[in-house]
A and B are shown apart, each in its own frame.
Chain A
Amino acid sequence: MDLPFLRLLSLAFRQLLRDARAGELRVLFLALLVAVTATTAIGYFGARLNASMLLRATEFLGADLRLSGSSPATAEQLAAGTTLGLEHARVVEFSSVIATDTAIQLASVKAADSAYPLRGELKSAPAPYQPDTPGPGPAPGEAWAETRLLAALSLEVGDSIEVGEKSLRLTRVLTQEPDRAGNFYSLTPRVLMHLDDLDATGVVQPGSRVRYRELWRGAPEALQAYRQQVTPLLAADQRLEDARAGNRQIGNALARGERYLNLASLAAVLLAGIAVALSAARFAIRRFDASALLRCLGLSRRATLALYGLQLGLLGLLACGLGAALGWLAQQGLFWLLRDLLPAEVPAGGLIPALAGGATGLVALAGFALPPLAALGRVPPLRVLRRDLVPVPPAAWLTYGMALLALGLIMWRLSLDLRLTLALLGGGLLAAFALGALLLSGLRTLRRLLATAPLAWRLGIGQLLRHPLAAAGQALAFGLILLAMSLVALLRSELLDTWQNQLPEQAPNYFALNVLPAEKERFMAEVARIAPQSAPLYPVVMGRLTAINGEPVRQIVSKESSGERATQRDLNLTWAERLPADNRLSAGQWWDRLEHGELPGVSVEAELAKNLGLGLGDRLTFSVGGITRDARVSSLREVHWDSFQPNFYMIFQPGTLQDLPATYLTSFYLPPGRDAEVVRLARSFPTVTLLQVEALLAQLRGILAQVTLAVEYVLLFVLAAGLCVLFAGLQATLDERLRQGALLRALGARRRLLVQTRRLEFALLGASSGLLAALGCELVSALLYRFVFDLPWHPHPWLLLLPALGALLVGAAGLLGTQRALNASPLQVLREG
């Protein structure tokens, strides 16, 4: 008979209540609940921390979003932001010669309106080397300048300077601009003035080199909407930047942190999948009898399937809803615990993580439970007479294919990172196949060895050998759980190490630019006196790339390409005998292995080479102050831009640029509280530009500390979820073991024998899972390091502890789980059969 949908639904609901009362759904429900709770909590935690990190990173941009270009923004582009209710500030930057009665100096001028900056702080001091304070920028008619401009032009606060045709009074010394941070190679000193005075300067004329920046601040949704509206309207010279794009150091740290959180939530999804897979199959198998009976009672195949499908759906909705709520509560609790360590302003996180968590549970349930459920429709009604009749199982590839597809879809949707998903899933799959086969053949070998073993061994391991496929499946499932846990642990320490290396305690906090050749020895001696650790002096020649293989770059490099900016401005060119310590050659040879050709060699930063379409052997022409120099690309280098060391796009073979006018550049670390010495250094070398990057370092350290914290807590979460899933999974495989135990006791086995048997069986299961996890973890981590995290891979010997750890964990969990069988009367267990 076919039942109307509503009757089927109400029947499914009643059956579900009855099953629940009978304790039948506990394992599946718990597995789902743990999975959804963990995914939701990690999702929220990651999303909220990420948003709060981004919020801090926006300080480096002075805004949430920045539209910059060499032409002013159009009315339409401006109206889009205003209509969306975004806060707006405008900045115009240009180079101008600042003149006094006695001297001139090229300066980089920034004209900002009163709303600037929208994020971060502008700081100034009443006089050079005085303590600075945050506050709004200069009023119309006023200007602020950096100390080095005052030094170069012998000016004092209160004097007037000419910017174009406009005279401005210097009122304060500029000490910190939030959006200057990423740019500490800019050599000209800064002057900050009010935007209202810009027209009066007469400097900005059609065709003059000017950078217009529109700064925006507002709610994430409004910013997103703005981005969508404005992106199609962008002119070739315009770019939209957010905190990630604005600063390499921050961008890289954020991207890695985000990827890690992503990976952790994917690991949670994987755990969820395994938990559901383990318990859903049991759910279906335990319903074979019931579905045969229902068919016998006249329920059609379709109605039987629909009944169980609805039951499962209801169960899933309930568990997922509750899990999402619990996950939300868990992360609220976590943020409450961490309230002293995190900034007060942590964005709420919205509904997405809860929905994603719930959906993850439902999709995993569908992927893993539907194939075994479909088998229920094929249970022959004749099974009521002949218990041995089981439905033809669906093709294994279909079952697993569907489950994997479901898992892959969730992972991809969640991470929006196809490479990460493929590396994790593909690596996991590869590991599962190879290791499953290994395990199966291992078990078969064991069978031969077992004939002469003591009884406890024969019983314990015999239990595994009786169903080698099932045993291999269980070991694989537990192995994947251990793999997910150890992978998250492994990457955590790797990431923390990377950050630690990137920002060691004594990372350079001062950069010295414009050191004149005549002064370099005296300067370095002075620096060595106050700061024991400093980088070597690098010569710097400012030059522009003008032609590639004889063709002007403007004809070759399109305006849309990302290399275009590099051809529009002067690059810092240098020469060096040796490859800088943290650079790595990715193609070609360094000088010492190079054969002498007609042209000197140049080593190009790999990414720039890619953007400009450069390859080994290309001829580059540079223009340095009107003199041209040719060089041949002899190597490509990978550069760590996120290290606080001087880095260069172009390094020339020594002897190529020596005759051109050069200055020198270095960086050093000075412990806090030595300001007076910096002032003395600056006064004795007035032409040298000293840049303090302490503020940037502090900000970056703050962000990294926050990501580190997130990483630590997420690890704890994944470990806890993994343990729960492990227990739930074991529960799902206990039926058979309970029955065997009861039978043995009925036959007179002593409790000691049973305990020993169980101990051996679970320890072996755990040890093989651990071994699988160790091998799989190495494989997957190698893939992840290579393709996702960009880290050098090396073996992790501590993973060899995993078999012991697995034996301990699974052994303990197994013993706890089977306690019931040891304590209950065997008769009862056998009757419950």
Chain B
Amino acid sequence: MSSSILVAQNLSKVVSSAEGELTILHGLDLELPRSATLAIVGSSGSGKSTLLGLLAGLDLPSSGEVALAGHSLASLDEDRRARVRAEHVGFVFQSFQLLDTLDALANVMLPLELEGRTDARARARELLERVGLGQRLAHYPKQLSGGEQQRVAIARAFAAEPDILFADEPTGNLDSQTGERISDLLFALNRERGTTLVLVTHDERLARRCERLIRLEAGRLVASEP
């Protein structure tokens, strides 16, 4: 088994628009070992989210190759990519993406129920307690604050014990204090469970907490640290 959980080679994404073809990503290479933390930064429209979508197998590149947990994504159809996601990947989104009709507990149980785990309820409860929402299990998303919703989303992301967690602007919709607490939680869980973390952000402070950082501008890699 390769020590790298994520490898991207010469990754490009071209979309066609009314004005002609538009290249959003230009030949990008990337390799990430297990348990590493990576921040992708850049201004709005620099191609961060597009890159995240390609790395997580939510979309396919126009050219180039992504290998996620040893699976070459380009050779897989959507359903096989879904299976790879189910086995290896967790997500946290800027807009939380909780299901309105499910309470906090049911939202966290969802990926566990999809796996058919019998301990879904106990495990979801434990995770919600871990993120500090032990008292809010029966609350619906609209009854929770933004920070609380994001904590439910993080509990859900860690529920299925993913190898790699993709976070798209996880603090983007939160005030700085709540954002700080959410990133603390994210990194603490990451350490506890040895999960690889890839986060897209334009919050420099959050980015600096990652071991590695890449910076995009107009779809090109302009800096990689260290």
Contact = CB atoms under 8 A, between A and B. Distances in A.
A755 interface: no
B91 A22 contact: no
Interface string A1-22: 1111001000100110011011
Nearest to B109: A14
Given A11-B114, A294-B114, A384 B82 contact: no
Contacts of B114: 1, 3, 11, 294, 297-299
B164 to A, nearest CB: 13
Nearest to B60: A382
Given A1-B114, A3-B116, A386-B49, A298 B83 contact: yes
B87 A24 contact: no
B58 interface: yes
A739 to B, nearest CB: 14
Q: Which of B100, B103, B114 has the most CB of A within 10 A?
A: B114
Nearest to B52: A385
Contacts of A301: 78-79, 82
Contact of A18 (B49, B84, B89, B102): B102
Interface in B75-127: 78-79, 82-87, 89, 91, 93, 95, 97, 99-103, 106, 110-111, 113-116
A22 B58 contact: no
A289 B101 CA distance: 12
B93 A384 contact: yes
B95 to A, nearest CB: 7
A295 interface: yes
A467 to B, nearest CB: 22
Nearest to B113: A11
Contacts of B168: 385
B140 interface: yes
B64 interface: no
B93 A299 contact: no
A692 B142 CA distance: 79
A2 B116 CA distance: 11
Contacts of A296: 58, 85, 91
A634 B85 CA distance: 85
Contacts of A302: 79
Contact of B58 (A18, A290, A385): A385
Nearest to A304: B82
A300 interface: yes
Contacts of A14: 113
A384 B86 contact: no
Nearest to B99: A290
B53 interface: yes
Contacts of B87: 1, 298
Interface in A269-301: 289-290, 293-301
A522 interface: no
A185 B102 CA distance: 77
A18 B113 CA distance: 14
B161 interface: no
B52 A300 contact: no
A297 B58 contact: no
B44 to A, nearest CB: 13
Q: Which of B52, B82, B93, B142 has the most CB of A within 10 A?
A: B82
A22 B95 contact: no
Taking residues whose C-beta sits less than 8 angstroms from the other chain, chain A's interface range is 20 to 34
A2 B83 CA distance: 8
A297 B98 CA distance: 12
Contacts of B99: 289-290, 293
B59 interface: yes
A298 B156 CA distance: 13
Contacts of A592: none
B102 A22 contact: yes
Interface string A289-331: 1100111111111100000000000000000000000000000
A14 B109 CA distance: 11
Given A22-B102, A293-B99, A382 B53 contact: yes
Contacts of A2: 79
Contact of B142 (A297, A382, A384, A832): A832
Nearest to B88: A298
Given A1-B114, A11-B114, A24 B58 contact: no
Contacts, number: 89
A579 to B, nearest CB: 71
Given A22-B101, A297-B110, A831 B79 contact: no
B148 to A, nearest CB: 13
A299 B91 contact: no
A458 B169 CA distance: 38
A110 B140 CA distance: 83
A298 B86 contact: yes
Contact of B79 (A3, A300, A384): A300
A466 interface: no
Contacts of B142: 831-832
A385 B93 contact: yes
Interface in B165-212: 168
Interface in B49-83: 49, 52-53, 58-59, 78-79, 82-83
Contacts of A460: none
Contacts of A831: 142
Nearest to A292: B97
Contacts of A297: 85-86, 91, 110-111, 114, 160
A462 interface: no
Contact of A387 (B53, B95, B102): B95
Contact of B100 (A7, A22, A294): A22
Contacts of A22: 100-102, 140
Interface string B22-62: 00000000000000000000000000010011000011000
Contacts of B58: 296, 380-382, 384-385
Contacts of A294: 110, 114
A14 B105 CA distance: 13
Interface in A368-409: 380-382, 384-387
Q: Which of A19, A299, A382, A385 has the most CB of B within 10 A?
A: A385
A300 B78 CA distance: 8
A445 to B, nearest CB: 28
B105 to A, nearest CB: 10
A671 to B, nearest CB: 71
Interface string A458-499: 000000000000000000000000000000000000000000
Contacts of A290: 99, 101
Contacts of B49: 385-386
Contacts of B160: 297
Nearest to B90: A297
A314 B115 CA distance: 22
B82 A1 contact: yes
A290 B52 CA distance: 20
Contact of A384 (B78, B91, B101, B113): B91
Contacts of A832: 142
Contacts of B85: 296-298, 381
A24 B101 contact: yes
A611 B56 CA distance: 77
Given A22-B100, A385-B93, 12 more contacts: A3-B116, A22-B101, A24-B101, A293-B99, A294-B114, A296-B58, A380-B58, A384-B58, A384-B97, A385-B52, A387-B95, A832-B142
23 contacts: A3-B114, A3-B116, A24-B100, A290-B101, A293-B97, A296-B85, A297-B110, A297-B111, A297-B114, A299-B82, A299-B114, A300-B79, A300-B82, A301-B78, A302-B79, A380-B58, A381-B58, A382-B58, A384-B58, A384-B91, A385-B93, A386-B49, A831-B142
Interface of A: 1-4, 7, 11, 14-15, 18-19, 21-22, 24, 289-290, 293-302, 380-382, 384-387, 831-832
Interface of B: 49, 52-53, 58-59, 78-79, 82-87, 89, 91, 93, 95, 97, 99-103, 106, 110-111, 113-116, 140, 142, 160, 168
The 8 closest A-B pairs by CB, nearest first: A298-B86, A22-B101, A300-B79, A298-B85, A382-B58, A1-B86, A19-B101, A24-B101
